[in-house]
Amino acid sequence: MFASTPKHLLNRPRLMHALVALAAASLIVAAVVIQKVDGLEPCPLCILQRYAFTFVAALAALAAALPGRASTASALLALVSSLAGAAVAAWHVRLQLFPPEESSCGPSLQYLLSNLPLGRALPRIFQGYGDCTRIDWTFLKLSMPAWSFLWLIALGGMLVFALRRPR
């Protein structure tokens, strides 16, 4: 019975979509915890990758919950989100490995608050302000964007696998 359980579970697209949603949501939480614990400031590319994980989580959850074609459409949109996020992460890794001579991801938070009225500065507060070329955090010698790339590709692969399973 136990030997056939994993294979049986992998043949259930709804379960695979739910696992993708759970993994993506967990990775967002992990990124926020690491940001708070280590005092990191996310850059604009980091924020875009978080949006990609958020879209993957939400759309994969919808794919797990919805029937038929709606499930397939949600899963396809989640796949597109994972691939778009992986593209952003790949670009981010490239910037970290080969930084341009002048690097700027936008004005700093301090600059915005001191030079803009609060009404104009407030929406920009939700953007990232870290330097996109700096490597502030590593795990197993890979930066956060490199891990994002790997996870987004893995989640996309899981979505493709689930989409190929009979419904």
Q: At residue 137, what are phi and psi to the nearest 5 degrees?
A: -145, 135
Q: What is the pLDDT of residue 153?
A: 97
Helix (H) or strand (E) holding 139: strand 138-139
Q: What is the pLDDT of residue 116?
A: 63
Q: Which fold has domain 10-164?
A: Bromodomain-like (1.20.1550)
Sequence-ordered list of residues with C-beta below 8 angstroms from that of 14, at least 6 positions apart, any chain: 63, 64, 71
Strand partners, 142: 139
- Cut 0.85: pTM above it: no
Give residue-wise pLDDT tens across range 84-129. Answer: 999 999 988 988 888 777 655 555 555 655 666 666 655 554 555 5
Q: Look at residue 131 and tell me whether its pLDDT is greater than 80.
A: no
Q: How far apart are CA 11 and CA 33, in angstroms?
A: 33
Give residue-wise pLDDT tens across range 58-72. Answer: 999 999 998 889 999
Q: Is 109 helix (H, G, I), strand (E, B) or coil?
A: helix
Helix (H) or strand (E) holding 142: strand 142-143
Q: 14 near 70, Cβ under 8 Å?
A: no
User: What are the DSSP calls for 36-55, one per residue?
Assistant: HHHT----HHHHHHHHHHHH
